[in-house]
Amino acid sequence: MPHALAPRPAFSPSPVLIWGPLAGCALIVALVIRHEAGAEGFASGVGLALLPLPFIALIFARLDAVAPKPTRALLFAFVWGACAATFLALVMNGVLLRWITGASDTVTPAHDDMLRIVLLAPVVEEVGKGAVVLLLFLYRPVVFHGVLAGLVTAGLSATGFAFTENVLYLGSAVTQDRMAGTAGMINSTAVVTFVVRILVAPFAHPVFTALTGAAIGLAATLPPEARRWRRGLPVLGLAAAIALHSVWNASTALSFFGFAAVYVLVMLPVFALLSRWALRERRRQLRSVRRTLPVYTEAGWLSDGEPDALGSLQARGASRRLARRRHGAAGARAVADYQAAATSLALLRERADQGVAGDDFPAHERDLLARMWRHRDVAAATILSAARSAGRRSAGRAPAPTAAPPRAAAPAGRTRPDRRAR
């Protein structure tokens, strides 16, 4: 790898400054929940709240598979929601309630505490969960590719929040049943809570906060000239998240049929629309790969046929499987990292063509090219071989970009990557 493409040093705060406060929030939240639910209820709540996590994590991993974010960023989003956002909610809900009404507050509100449930909780919780999306957009913009990045980041933050909230409510319900001597499933508060929160609506919090994340992601794709929209879209997304959250919370005070009507007529359609939007964004990312990467083929960084193969989910999966057969787990990881870097490069180039990549575009481009170059000996041949065996026959027919990057659009006066820099 040439010296010109050495990864540039990037400022990164000490892990202690990041994870230390989060650990403090986690400890305080855990102590509060244990005090509220008791030791037995706390343990039961943790066990029950863990059940939907693998399924939800798999969904977000599949959505994020084309242009995966760093694991540390995704873990940070989840832990933020589980610890920082819940800590903020525990503090602010009580503080705001006492400030407005002069009344005291408990961690688990009474059923008739509609002021907190419908008005205060949605505002505090959605601001807390959505804050991490804005943080990652501001401080890690190179991994924030647009709408899908916002959806995934917000979804994981909300999943973490829902996990901690489920520990609280399920643990408290278990303790309530034990103290009341409840026998059987029909009259069990824990069973009802489990069915509603784990089986019926495991995606409730992710759906709320995804509206904020998608709006921030959409704003990130707009040119600097659209200043009003860049500032207004996140506010609109947050307002939509708060409104949907309020409607959902209010439905818990309705009859069974009222609750079911809100679930069927409001929650499910919003979930379906967000799912369709996410899948559409993933297809758009693959089209961007096929459209944008040929400029790197012309410069000699990629072989003919790679843009087609890298822009196909089928070919990408076949490449990783072939790499595992030929080179073991290390080869599969190398191909996966090569694919992720190539996708990020295509999306970064697309943002540069739109004028929203920022002045550090050349440095980020060099980093991604260097990352690809480290794996090229294993990845390139494997990708093309897998594409041919999958019946694509893409070698030798790289598509022309639909719009070649204009000179005026590329930062630092560059229109295409310089092959001589290798």
- Give the per-residue SS3 of 297-316: HHCCCCCCCHHHHHCCHHHH
User: What stretches of 130-239 adopt beta strand conformation (E)?
Assistant: none
Q: What is the pLDDT of residue 410?
A: 38
> In this predicted structure, which of 188-202, 203-217, 218-232, 241-255 has the lowest mean pLDDT?
218-232
Position 70 confidence tier, pLDDT thresholds 50, 70, 90 = confident
The number of beta carbons lying within 10 Å of the beta carbon of residue 209 is 35
- For 8-31, b/e burial (b = at least 16 CB within 10 A) is eeeeeeeeeeeeeebeebbeebee
How far from the centroid of its chain's Cα atoms is residue 71's Cα? 11
pLDDT single digits (tens) 257-269: 999 999 999 999 9
Q: What is the pLDDT of residue 249?
A: 93
Q: For residue 370, with 0-12 CB atoms within 10 Å meaning exposed, 13-18 middle and 19 or more buried, which class applies?
A: middle
Amino acid at 32: V
Q: What is the pLDDT of residue 286?
A: 94
Distances (CA, A) of 402 to 43, 289, 408: 57, 12, 17
Distances (CA, A) of 215 to 79, 80, 201, 230, 330: 22, 19, 23, 9, 37
C-alpha 179/C-alpha 174 separation (Å) is 9
pLDDT single digits (tens) 151-170: 999 999 999 999 999 999 99
Angle between helices 15-50 and 147-180 (to 10 degrees): 50
- For 182-198, b/e burial (b = at least 16 CB within 10 A) is beeeeebbbbebbebbb
- Name the residue among 221, 226, 206 with its Cα closest to residue 153: 206
Distances (CA, A) of 409 to 37, 82, 135, 358, 417: 58, 41, 27, 11, 14
pLDDT single digits (tens) 348-369: 998 888 877 777 888 889 999 9
C-alpha 274/C-alpha 116 separation (Å) is 27
C-alpha 366/C-alpha 369 separation (Å) is 5
Q: Tokens 């990845």 appear where?
A: 379
- Name the residue among 170, 29, 132, 136 with its Cα closest to residue 89: 29
The token duo for 271 is: 């979930």
Mean pLDDT of 215-226: 86
- Residue 348 or residue 114, greater confidence: 348
